Structures are given as C-alpha cells and as structure tokens.
C-alpha cells in the first residue's frame, strides 16, 4: 500500500492515531518509538514487539505493549519506506503486525487477534504458484482466536490493510464491546 506523503508525515498520522485511540490507556498513548534505518530509507515503529531487542535495544517502551483500558494489550510494529520519484515523496507500508491479546470476556468470545503482513513475499512449504501465495500461511493475513491458550492455524488472507484503519476499527470494536 502506497500513500502520497513522506514517511515522517505517515508516522505522525500513525502516532496521532495511537494518541486518539480511546481503547488504549491514556497513560500509554504518549509514545510510539520510531527509528530510521538509513541504508534503506525505511522507518520502524514498535510497541511491544521488539522481543529480540534488535531495533530498540535501549528503549523499554518499544518492548512494552500498549495497555487497554478494560484489560488486554495491543502490540504494534510497522515498517514504512519512503520512495522519492520525480520530486514527489510517497510512503509504502512494507510490513506490519497488529496484535491484541489477553482480552477480557466478551460476547464474541474473542481472546486474541492478530493482523500480519510480512516484509517480502516468502515462498517455501505451502507455496502455490497458481495463487502466487501460501494458503497455509498467506502473506497478509488475520488470526482470530476464540480460546486461550489454544491457538489455531486459521490464517485468513486479507491483502494489505492500512495500520491506521486497523487501529481505528479495533478502537471502535473495543469501545462498543467494553464501553468507555
């Protein structure tokens, strides 16, 4: 997914989306760590998903998820790359992970959910040349788990979804389910 804006502008919009997401505890909406990788003109933002301390070794907030107001946690990681062509700047969302876990009981019995879009298009076990993707683990997909700790292999292909849209849609569902 490509947007006509700079990487900085996109990151500002993402941070604004976090700061206005009423599902996130107000004390946690303050900071979304970001880092530029100079060699590829890419930017990373992470909150709760830099488990290996690779991207943000000295930033504890990058390793802590956002706490949700009625229970649960939101982990977010986004990689964007700025493309410059003919004096124009565009940003491409190359990869993202949006993970919600530990949700309190709710009418939908959803315990956790996750959206993934990996960087690059992996091949390997399950790859189907006709589909140009992997039905066993699609490139961009959504997981929904209705019981914990039991996970499942349901990975529904979604195509790319804007992380800002994911944040807004989740915030709406969370508030309509648990209240403000």
- Give the model's pLDDT for residue 69: 96
Please confirm whether the linkage preceding 161 is cis (ω < 30° from 0).
no
Count how many domains the chain has. Answer: 1
Q: By CB neighbour count within 10 A (0-12 exposed, 13-18 middle, 19+ buried), where does 173 fall?
A: middle
* Domain housing 148: 2-178
DSSP one-letter string for 74-140:
EEEEEEEEEEEETTEEEEEEEEEEEEEE-PPP-TT---EEEEEE-SS---STT-BTTTTB-TTS-SE
Contacts of 38 by beta carbon, 8 Å cutoff, 6+ apart: none
Q: What is the pTM of this model?
A: 0.85
3-class DSSP assignment, residue 62? helix
Mean pLDDT of the chain: 84
In the predicted model, what is the mean pLDDT of residues 11-27?
A: 93
pLDDT in tens, 112-132: 888 888 876 667 788 888 887
pLDDT in tens, 134-169: 887 787 888 887 765 666 667 777 878 888 888 999
């Amino acid at each position: 997914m490509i947007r006509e804006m700079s990487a900085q502008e996109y990151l500002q919009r993402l941070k604004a989306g976090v700061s206005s997401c009423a599902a996130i505890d107000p004390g946690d909406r303050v900071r979304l760590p970001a880092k530029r990788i100079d060699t590829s003109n890419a930017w990373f933002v992470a909150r709760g998903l830099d488990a290996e301390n690779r991207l943000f070794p000295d930033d504890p907030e990058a390793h802590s998820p956002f706490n949700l107001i009625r229970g649960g946690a939101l982990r977010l990681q986004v990689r964007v790359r700025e493309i410059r062509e003919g004096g124009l700047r565009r940003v491409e969302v190359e990869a993202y992970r949006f993970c919600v876990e530990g949700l309190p009981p709710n009418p939908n019995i959803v315990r956790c959910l996750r959206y993934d879009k990996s960087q690059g298009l992996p091949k390997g076990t399950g790859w189907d040349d006709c589909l140009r993707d992997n039905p066993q683990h699609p490139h961009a997909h959504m997981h929904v788990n209705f019981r914990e700790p039991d996970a499942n292999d349901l990975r529904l292909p979604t195509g790319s979804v804007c992380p800002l849209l994911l944040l807004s849609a989740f915030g709406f569902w969370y508030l309509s389910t648990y209240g403000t």
